[in-house]
């Protein structure tokens, strides 16, 4: 085996991920893109590939510091902080790790709905507090099966959610920019407010980024109404968080299951006062199985680049 290729590894990685990088590459580890400028000119001018993860900005300023850069292999589906326009302009290809996490995110979304609607936290507390023994049954809650469900953004993850919910005998409605290839019984809407008027549960599975900021706004939430649930497993930015907090506090919708937040990992403290939410710390793809598959795909893209083989999952 010849000399290993050099890469820059930016972001927080676990021990086993760090080990994987070291196994295949001569790896230089940085916590943030802000640290690139602290590398020696010699190294900066040799680096052709970056393994990227996380929340720091990666744009033209960084591309200037890495003049030979050709590949950003991103860990994750979303790459909100990478300037794709800038990358394309500088001849840099970005890859991501789609698909391998779809099932886990879809599972989490379904679980959020069930845990929220069937009030798992209350149920557990009903036992722990002694109420079950003292007062009998916990208060009744609401069925999931046979509900009218709306998917906002029928991408791969939205599809997986809808596909699971068919077996829960739910009616599937979806908003998307165009009609998607899907079972004919799934009803298309070109407008999210019209969709929200027809359904009782909304799953938000939009892509992140500027175009979808506050896409689920107070108009959509009002249209959903008092029996409505909102489940968001996309990005905190896709839902107008203050509008959501307002309707949750005033009980204008029934509840929300949220894996993502606007300023995560900082969370608006108003969420912590609510009893009609089920909140999770952006753990949609947080399984051993998904993370392993994501890491393998991130590394495969890096390997393919250095071998001159077609990239597996280019974005631009």
Residues interacting with a second copy, by CB under 8 A? 12, 103-104, 106-108, 110-111, 114-115, 118, 120-121, 123-124, 126-128, 132-133, 136-138, 140-146, 163-164, 166-169, 264-267, 272, 278-283, 286-291
Instruction: Catalogue the active-site residues.
Output: 235, 264, 282
Specify the residue, 187 or 282, whose C-beta has the smaller distance to a second copy. Answer: 282
Helix axes 156-166, 102-117, angle to 10 degrees: 50
Selection from 11, 69, 75, 23 nearest residue 43 by Cα: 69
Minimum CB–partner distance for residue 202 and a second copy (Å): 18
DSSP-assigned letters across all residues of 226-257:
TT-EEEE-S-GGGB-HHHHHHHHHTTSSSEEE
Measured from the CB atom, the residue of 83 and 295 that comes closer to a second copy is 295
Question: Shortest distance, CB of residue 52 to a second copy, whole angstroms?
Answer: 16
User: How far is residue 247's CA from residue 251's CA, in Å, rounded to a whole number?
Assistant: 6
Q: Alpha-carbon distance 260 to 267, whole Å?
A: 9
Q: Work out the burial of residue 247: count CB atoms within 10 Å of its CB; fewer than 13 is exposed, 13-18 middle, 19 or more buried.
A: buried
**For a second copy, which is the closer residue by CB, 44 or 235?**
235
From the list 160, 196, 191, 197, the residue with the least C-alpha distance to 176 is 191
Q: Judged by CB, which is closer to a second copy: 1, or 272?
A: 272
Q: How far is the CB of 140 from a second copy (least distance, A)?
A: 5
User: Closest distance between a second copy and the C-beta of residue 281, in Å?
Assistant: 4
Nearer to a second copy, 48 or 122 (CB): 122
* Shortest distance in whole angstroms from residue 183 CB to a second copy: 12
What H or E segment, with its residue span, contains residue 130?
none
CA–CA separation, 247 and 222 (whole Å): 8
Kind and range of the H or E run holding 172: strand 171-175
CA 12/CA 98 separation, integer angstroms? 19
């Amino acid at each position: 085996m010849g000399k290993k290729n050099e890469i820059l590894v930016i972001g927080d990685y676990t021990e086993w991920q760090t080990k994987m990088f070291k196994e295949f590459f001569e790896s230089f580890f940085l916590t943030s893109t802000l640290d690139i400028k602290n590398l020696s000119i010699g190294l900066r001018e040799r680096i052709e590939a970056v393994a990227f993860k996380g929340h720091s900005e990666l744009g033209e300023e960084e591309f200037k510091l890495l003049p030979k850069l050709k590949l950003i292999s991103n860990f994750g589906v979303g790459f909100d902080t990478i300037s794709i326009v800038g990358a394309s302009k500088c001849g840099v290809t970005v890859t991501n790790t789609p698909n391998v996490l779809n099932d886990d995110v879809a599972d989490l979304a379904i679980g959020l709905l069930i845990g929220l609607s069937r009030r798992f936290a209350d149920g557990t507390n009903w036992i722990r507090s002694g109420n079950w023994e003292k007062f009998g049954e916990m208060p009744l809650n609401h069925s999931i099966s046979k509900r009218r469900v709306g998917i906002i953004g029928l991408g791969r993850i939205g599809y997986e959610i809808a596909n699971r919910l068919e077996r829960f005998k739910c009616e599937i409605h979806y908003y998307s920019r165009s009609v998607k290839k899907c079972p004919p019984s799934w009803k298309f809407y070109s407008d999210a407010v019209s969709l929200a008027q027809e359904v009782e549960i909304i799953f938000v599975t939009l892509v992140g980024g500027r175009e979808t900021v506050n896409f689920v706004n107070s108009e959509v939430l009002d249209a959903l109404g008092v029996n409505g649930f909102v489940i968001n497993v996309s990005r905190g930015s896709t839902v107008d968080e203050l509008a959501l907090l307002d309707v949750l506090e005033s009980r204008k919708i029934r509840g929300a299951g949220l894996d993502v937040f606007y300023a995560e990992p900082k969370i608006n403290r108003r969420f912590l006062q609510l009893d009609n939410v089920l909140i999770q710390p952006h753990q949609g793809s947080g399984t051993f199985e998904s993370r392993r598959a994501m890491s393998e795909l991130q590394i495969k893209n890096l390997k393919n680049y250095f071998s001159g083989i077609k990239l597996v999952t280019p974005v631009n």
